[in-house]
Amino acid sequence: MLRIEHKLRTCPVGLASVLSVLGLLLADIGPLGAQQLVFEPLDSSATVDQESIASDAALPVFQLIGSDARLQLQVMSRAAANNVSDQTRAVSYDISPANIIEVDSSGYVRPLADGRATIEATNANSEASCSCVIVVTGMKAEPQISFNNQVIPVFTKLGCNGGGCHGKASGQAGFKLSLLGFEPQDDYVHLISESRGRRLFPAAADESLLLKKAVNLSSHGGGQRTDMASDEYELMRRWIAMGMPAGPAHERSVDRIELQPSQRFLTPGATQQLRVLVYYSDGSFEDVTRRAQFESNNTLQGTVSASGLVSLSQQPGDVAVMARYQGQVAVFRASVPLGVEVAVWPEPINLVDEWVLQKLKGLGIPTSSECDDYTFIRRATLDITGRLPLEHEIQQFVSDERPDKHALLVDRLLDSPAYGEFFAKKWSAILRNKRDNSGEQFGSYAFYDWLKQSLNGNVPYDQWVSQILTASGSSVNSPPVAWLREVNNTESRVEDAAQLFLGQRLQCARCHHHPFEKWSQKDYFQFAAFFSTVSRKEGPTPEEPMFVSRVARPSARHPKTGEELPPAGLDGPDLDVAPAQDPRQYLADWMSSKDNPFFARTLVNRYWKHFMAVGLVEPEDDMRVTNPATNPELLDSLARQFVESGFDLKQLVREICNSRVYRLSSDAGPNNVSDTSCYSRYYPKRLQAEVILDAIDDVMHTTTDFDGLPKSARAVGLPDTSFSSYFLDVFGKPNSTTACECERMQEATLAQSLHLLNSKQIQAKLTDAQARPAEMAVNSDSISDVVSSLYLSALCRPASDAEIRTAADYVNSKPDRKQAMEDLVWALVNSKEFLFNH
């Protein structure tokens, strides 16, 4: 048995806090598989002295102060290859003497009496063991109970103050608590004063209605939430018996929490016991593992129990587990390697490749091979311009032997007017550019044209966002005013601006503290203060009003406290804005500052999803800390590069599309078929509604009429989302009623299949006398040439010999050559290869 010396760090403690430095760690030490137990740090600043592992040093010491102190041990096994696995629940614990502490099978320690005890942890399979010392003090002192820091967390842990129970706005069954305990002062009043205090009975605490309902001794709609032997019950019972004290006058507050470990590579099916430490404003900390809440972001990849035990599936990949305590959040990330030996990895071209390949190497997930030239030009042209490449463009690219032809293609596409047209459609939809009546047409069209010109001219992103946020005048002289016209109240402007440009969904914080984020009502209304001086005035027409920033000191009133709040960015300082200044310019300046943690990351993630089908964060506009990125290093690197480029959108597109990762084939191999977030292959995505309609017209040599637009108008170039089209509606065109990209439906549906198969619209295009099938029927070229041209136009690749033979046999078997050609075209536009970018 090996003993470890550890350098203890002196740490100030409060009542019921844990003073310790180490948890349990199991390490492999020899070729014969001999193992030893060592202790993992409880505090992140503590480190194991590796030189002392083989020395005859003193045992590590833990100290528990007070009867409410708890400690979650962690026992690990480290293999020779530095592969760590959790053994916390696989070892047995022996205590000597037995009357000082107790340890359950999960490694959870409770104090019993003042004194000193030794814990020996033994792995029955390997016979490895180690010992530590637990010192218990303060058991004779009457422990004080803090309502804010001890009672409120019990309500949160048991779900009492959740949105579906007593935490909802109207409360439940006459009992109301603030959502997740974010208003503890109000909660104290509700408990002590309301209903004549009938819920609490200090003279006989166990008879209190609050406790009887929690253990289901009295009828309770929420069922049994705990039992009488639990720590939660005992704490609440003591608090009631003590007369329900509010706690110290100068209460310490929670600064942060730490989740241990924060990241780990584990094997399929493995478990990992987590530990949560809370750090207070007075410098003290304690173990709150059993009082914290846990949640997995991918339950198919891994689940987590109420006690913090993560259980992984057999699937390779990543899972993030969130721990929440008193409004603070920390995240544990587990990576499960596939472990495939890969002889040759792709050579990285840029930072995209470096970070993606680094992760794939760590997980042992091989990449698919690089796609061929036909696939790449189709993929890039669709992603950048929203159209199919022309036949001559395909042939030129494939025959081009220059080594940088991929980058040259990307540059050519970005320089084409179709780039701005396609991305203006994207931005127009989420900026809610639509018409409620014909009088709003000028403003909507002008806003779309302004977006298209800004994108084609590569105006820096921060500049045109600033012009939208600070728009004044009417759409005649300031097209971005159309955004203010549609987002026509302060609340909508706050919520749209935060979601669009910062990836923060503030809607919940308008009424209460955000349940999944740190944003409070104060944060919400300080952000709202930026828009408090915007005024609407009569414009050139009733439908096209003017907007100005009136001369006034910007502020917003807190709905509960009545306090007048100055403007402040999220996590930013209060701003003193003079009455004559437009506070929206301060907002724009704060957003585009180089150290803004939201602005660049949100845009980068939005564009990454556009090209790679799956965002680094999903959904792409929900960038909260409780929704971590699958590759945070890549996201941060791209965001940093985007800022350093001067917010150059075209350069960001180049960085993504010129990467080796973007060139990977969508064909999955046996070892990466299950990968859905590591980008070991290109993920196919269904084409957008407008792109499909244009592609059908391009292949069939037809057009689609749109009211008020020339016959040459393309669906991708529609200036707003208000045009009536059953085809576009069926295929998921957004209505622009919110700022969420989720309005655009990308999923395939039965209605879409039926419309392509036999709708009057598609049949009319196929049978049109001027359409491609009619041209093919009278074409004097060989059937082989006709079919090859069709395949190159529709699927952007040559037809195979087998496909040509099948098509020729079909055409020759039909008496009506035109109808046979219609069937060929119909079959191709109904194929997945046509409908998806791959």
pLDDT digits (tens, 9 = 90+) for 114-164: 999 998 888 878 777 878 888 899 998 888 888 888 888 888 888 887 777
Cβ atoms of 669 and 338 within 8 Å: the answer is: no
What is the bridge-based pairing of β-strands 25-28 and 76-78?
parallel
Residues 704 and 830 in one domain: yes
Residue 364 falls within a domain, yes or no? no
**Would you say residue 41 has pLDDT above 60?**
no
Residues 91 and 192 in one domain: no
Identify the CA nearest to 289 among candidates 248, 320, 261.
261
**Would you say residue 22 has pLDDT above 70?**
no
pLDDT tens sequence across 135-145: 899 998 888 88
Cβ-in-10-Å burial (0-12, 13-18, 19+) of 99 comes to exposed
Mean pLDDT over all residues of the chain? 87
Residues 563 and 696 in one domain: no
**Would you say residue 611 has pLDDT above 90?**
yes
Residue 775 domain boundaries: 687-710+722-837
Give the model's confidence band at 218: pLDDT under 50 very low, under 70 low, under 90 confident, else very high: confident
pLDDT tens sequence across 77-117: 765 445 677 889 988 999 999 999 999 999 999 999 999 99
The residues, any chain, with a CB within 8 Å of residue 501's CB and separated by 6 or more, are: 465, 591, 598, 599, 602, 603
**Of 336, 360, 395, which one is at a domain's C-terminal end?**
336
Give the model's confidence band at 539: pLDDT under 50 very low, under 70 low, under 90 confident, else very high: confident
- Which residue type sits at 488? N
**What one-character DSSP code corresponds to residue 172?**
B
Query: Which pLDDT belongs to residue 127?
Result: 75
Question: 109 by DSSP, 3-state: which?
Answer: strand
Residues 485 and 563 in one domain: yes
| CA 148 – CA 152 distance, rounded (Å) | 5
Q: Domain containing 83 — which CATH number?
A: 2.60.40.1080
% of the chain with per-residue pLDDT over 90: 59
Residues 700 and 802 in one domain: yes
Residue 4 falls within a domain, yes or no? no
Residue 25 falls within a domain, yes or no? yes
pLDDT tens sequence across 307-351: 999 999 988 888 999 999 988 889 999 988 888 888 899 999 999
The residues, any chain, with a CB within 8 Å of residue 754's CB and separated by 6 or more, are: none
Cβ atoms of 296 and 268 within 8 Å: the answer is: no
Cβ neighbours of 295 (radius 10 Å): 15
Locate 410 and state its tokens: 């990307």
Residue 249 falls within a domain, yes or no? no
Residue 355 falls within a domain, yes or no? no
Cβ atoms of 431 and 425 within 8 Å: the answer is: no
Residues 509 and 544 in one domain: yes
Residue 418 falls within a domain, yes or no? no
pLDDT tens sequence across 178-205: 887 778 888 888 888 776 567 888 888 8
pLDDT tens sequence across 550-609: 999 999 999 988 999 999 999 999 999 999 999 999 999 999 999 999 999 999 999 999
Question: Residue 197: left if φ>0, alpha if ψ -120 to 50, beta else—which one?
Answer: left
Q: Which residue has the higher pLDDT, 739 or 10?
A: 739
Q: Which residue has the higher pLDDT, 283 or 793?
A: 793
Query: Which pLDDT belongs to residue 45?
Result: 38
Query: Which pLDDT belongs to residue 49?
Result: 35
Average pLDDT over residues 4-16: 31
Residue 385 falls within a domain, yes or no? no
CB neighbour burial string for 251-275, b if at least 16 within 10 angstroms, e if fewer: ebebeebbbbbeebbbeeebbbbbb
Residues 480 and 573 in one domain: yes
The residues, any chain, with a CB within 8 Å of residue 507's CB and separated by 6 or more, are: 495
What is the bridge-based pairing of β-strands 263-265 and 328-336?
parallel
Residue 429 falls within a domain, yes or no? no
Sheet holding 61-65: strands in order across? 18-20, 61-65, 129-137, 115-123, 91-96
Number of domains within the chain: 5
**Would you say residue 354 has pLDDT above 50?**
yes
**Would you say residue 380 has pLDDT above 50?**
yes
Cβ atoms of 273 and 287 within 8 Å: the answer is: no
Residues 233 and 295 in one domain: no
**Of 573, 591, 609, which one is at a domain's C-terminal end?**
591
**Would you say residue 52 has pLDDT above 50?**
no
CA distances for 53 relative to 1, 36, 93, 260, angstroms: 11, 10, 21, 22
Give the model's confidence band at 511: pLDDT under 50 very low, under 70 low, under 90 confident, else very high: confident
Cβ-in-10-Å burial (0-12, 13-18, 19+) of 172 comes to middle
Q: At what angle do helices 373-385 and 649-657 cross, to 10 degrees?
A: 160
CB neighbour burial string for 756-788, b if at least 16 within 10 angstroms, e if fewer: beeeeebeebbebeebbbbebbeeeeebeebbb
Residues 512 and 486 in one domain: yes
How does DSSP assign 345-414, residue by residue?
A: PPPP-SHHHHHHHHHHHHHT-PPPPBPPHHHHHHHHHHHHHSSPPPHHHHHHHHH---TTHHHHHHHHHH
Please identify which residue in the block is written with the tokens 């809610």. Answer: 432
**Of 313, 336, 359, which one is at a domain's C-terminal end?**
336
% of the chain with per-residue pLDDT over 70: 92
Query: Which pLDDT belongs to residue 24?
Result: 34
Residues 733 and 812 in one domain: yes
Please identify which residue in the block is written with the tokens 């030490």. Answer: 29
pLDDT tens sequence across 759-816: 999 999 999 999 999 999 998 888 999 999 999 999 999 999 999 999 999 999 999 9
What pTM, to 2 d.p., does this model score?
A: 0.86
Q: Domain containing 306 — which CATH number?
A: 2.60.40.10
**Would you say residue 394 has pLDDT above 90?**
yes
Residues 803 and 693 in one domain: yes
Residues 701 and 811 in one domain: yes
Locate 513 and state its tokens: 């503290």
| CA 17 – CA 66 distance, rounded (Å) | 8
